[in-house]
A and B are shown apart, each in its own frame.
Chain A
């Protein structure tokens, strides 16, 4: 049977149809009229868009750039059979909006041409618009004309002059005033005005630690709860309610998909609108988890998201995204999930690694993998998860650990792991030690190891390793036997009694 090669598999992948373009434009569905209008205006398949002040202003701005004296095609009369003249195409583009306000703006613009304006001609041209034309002119035509004209005008300047005009030199005072001080949204981890990505395996406690971190900073008076929007898209009904109850007293806004009119797909559009309307400054968004808002495996979508996050933070807002690591580790290290775009483009990356768990006490190490600003290189926390516990109790159990405490937790975990791993061999050794001591002439350490190895069919190195590792004085530290020297010849082992 022939082996299927990598090339054949890759050729098969090439037949895959590209995923549908992510919908950037959303329906308002009447829940929020302002949002609805904004979103409607962006839709392509439901032309013409709803006329808004914003759109009307855009039309006015475009017309202001253009020349109302432009050719009518028929010189001076318009030739409706030949809609190639710029003036006629502008008229048809505006007519496509089917808006009385836009029509009047257009008329005002046309009237600026004293010698060419003709009321009858204007109305005839305007009314000739056919929305059912095979390839109808739309408002984009007007915007393209305006853009082309602007570029043409700019071309009249020297590039050097344009660059000089764009230089920021001399604006330092103004820019400094606009800058925000480096304040931590989450102490030592997330800085205001930055985008921060936090990766962790599922159930590691990233939501818990992030909510804890935010609340600590609110309590310390560093940030205001009312400026935080926590988008909890990764929780079941009860869990979501538990978390709302926790954050309510601090004024944090929690957005839950399909609750109170909020839908995940609206979020990115709203963030964009906040940037455009200059409402992003000081507003903190936590997206839990990121995969609910963008496809992390899709490079294009990931790039679009990070671009938006960058623009949002440049506009003075902050974004914290929570995401999952892969199930697989590499050299013991957690691998962050998705394409590299997210971690490449955000300002700061932390990976939460659960390093120990004993009796419900979880120890989490937070490793900084990327930073722009004075965040900590390593942080660690502990929390206690018990059955029947409320989320508030779980949150209360979170405590930061210092380096020594973390090391202790790691060692404890290593001992626990080793006890579990060696359980079978320990059991055998525990059986042989008292038997050896009952012999008239007990075996030496080497003989005892050889004897156990032969008797239990376990490798001699393994027995020696386990004998040495679990030899000590404290049962709780993972030691199971201790030894005393008898004479010059042999070591006598004694089992430790559990406390």
Chain B
């Protein structure tokens, strides 16, 4: 399995929907770079995927961290010039992300240490086990470079009710599981939320021996 396969396994293409690649120089000034990939411009689905991942790696090599909306973008959505996808451009909620990361106490400016990552993984494991007991199934677990993401497939309309439901769900998990060092990010409920492209490097702050930049990888 290549990183490209991994990415589209977690974020499968929805027929007819666009892809957006948003490349951001984290911690530096400057606007994000937003590029859209419309299926009409490619002869096959594979061509679209290849171009998306190729471009992501290209931008990633030049020091930008690459993100993409985790929910499908409507085919007829026309973004504001230079801007990324906004909520009205999202076709539906297809993914719920549980983002487990360090708390501010540990600092978030630079990459995580191995120890911080282990703590995040433990908490992600606890949440995953708890939700499995509640018949949520096993999620895709992705190491995001500095923490862990659990992706649960959902199929809900893009409206305020769903946003509220996801927000409350994340709040519930945060209330149950947050520790002093690791927490569930409760603001990742909006439809247009972006997430890192699997297989790219998470470039955040200054890397050092114990705080290296890490590649975003699918763990399960």
Question: Residues on A close to B: CB < 8 A?
Answer: 1-6, 8-13, 15-17, 328, 330, 335, 420-421, 423-424
Contacts and interface: CB of A to CB of B under 8 A. Distances in A.
Interface stretch (B45-53, B117-125, B152-160): B152-160
Residue among B87, B134, B173 having the largest count of chain A Cβ atoms under 10 Å: B134
Contacts of A6: 156, 165
Interface stretch (B17-25, B135-143, B206-214): B135-143
In the A-B complex, list the 8 residue pairs whose CB atoms are closest, starting with the nearest: A2-B137, A16-B172, A4-B152, A3-B153, A4-B154, A4-B136, A3-B155, A9-B169
Contacts of B166: 9
6 contacts: A3-B154, A4-B136, A12-B134, A13-B169, A13-B172, A421-B80
Contacts of B152: 4
Nearest to B136: A4
A4 B153 contact: yes
Contact of A423 (B81, B135, B137, B138): B81
B137 A1 contact: yes
B168 interface: yes
Nearest to B94: A3
A9 B154 CA distance: 10
A16 B175 CA distance: 8
Contacts of A330: 160
A88 B131 CA distance: 56
Contacts of B135: 2, 8
Nearest to A17: B175
Contact of B134 (A3, A8, A420): A8
Contacts of B153: 1-4
B59 interface: no
A331 B175 CA distance: 34
A381 to B, nearest CB: 27
Nearest to A6: B156
Contact of B160 (A5, A11, A328): A328
A9 B160 CA distance: 15
B203 interface: no
Nearest to B86: A328
B96 interface: yes
Contacts of B156: 6
Nearest to A424: B81
Contacts of B80: 421
Contacts of A10: 165
A15 B131 CA distance: 12
Nearest to B140: A1
A424 B171 CA distance: 42
A421 B153 CA distance: 35
The CB with the most chain B CB atoms within 10 A, among A6, A12, A15, is that of A12
Contacts of A1: 137-140, 153
A17 B171 CA distance: 11
Contacts of B172: 12-13, 15-16
B129 to A, nearest CB: 14
A184 to B, nearest CB: 35
A11 B137 contact: no
Contacts of B173: 12
Nearest to A326: B160
Contacts of A15: 172, 176
Contacts of B176: 15
B188 to A, nearest CB: 14
Contacts of A17: 175
A8 B152 CA distance: 12
Contacts of B131: 12
Contacts of B160: 328, 330, 335
Nearest to B131: A12
A11 B165 contact: no
B151 to A, nearest CB: 9
B123 to A, nearest CB: 17
A110 to B, nearest CB: 53
A91 B11 CA distance: 73
B136 A421 contact: no
A55 B166 CA distance: 48
A156 B195 CA distance: 72
Given A17-B175, A420-B81, A4 B137 contact: yes
A8 B165 contact: no
Contacts of A5: 154
B83 to A, nearest CB: 10
A282 to B, nearest CB: 41
Contacts of B169: 9, 12-13
B81 A9 contact: no
Q: Which of B131, B135, B138, B139 is the most central at the interface, judged by chain A CB atoms within 10 Å of its CB?
A: B135
A5 B169 CA distance: 12
Given A4-B154, A6-B165, A17-B175, A328 B87 contact: yes
A9 B98 CA distance: 13
Contacts of B137: 1-2, 4
Contacts of A424: 81
A158 to B, nearest CB: 51
Contact of B165 (A9, A16, A420, A423): A9
Interface in B106-126: none
Contacts of B138: 1
Contacts of A423: 81
A424 B165 CA distance: 39
A424 B82 CA distance: 11
A4 B128 CA distance: 13
Given A2-B135, A12-B134, A328-B163, 14 more contacts: A4-B96, A4-B152, A4-B153, A5-B154, A6-B165, A8-B134, A9-B165, A9-B166, A13-B172, A330-B160, A335-B160, A421-B80, A423-B81, A424-B81
Interface string B162-188: 010110110111011000000000000
A17 B176 CA distance: 9
A8 B136 contact: yes
B216 to A, nearest CB: 19
A475 to B, nearest CB: 21
Contacts of A13: 165, 168-169, 172
Chain B CB count within 10 A is highest, among A2, A4, A423, for: A4
B57 to A, nearest CB: 26
Nearest to A2: B137
A11 B96 CA distance: 16
A6 B96 CA distance: 11
A25 B138 CA distance: 46
A307 to B, nearest CB: 25
Contact of A11 (B134, B140, B154, B171): B134
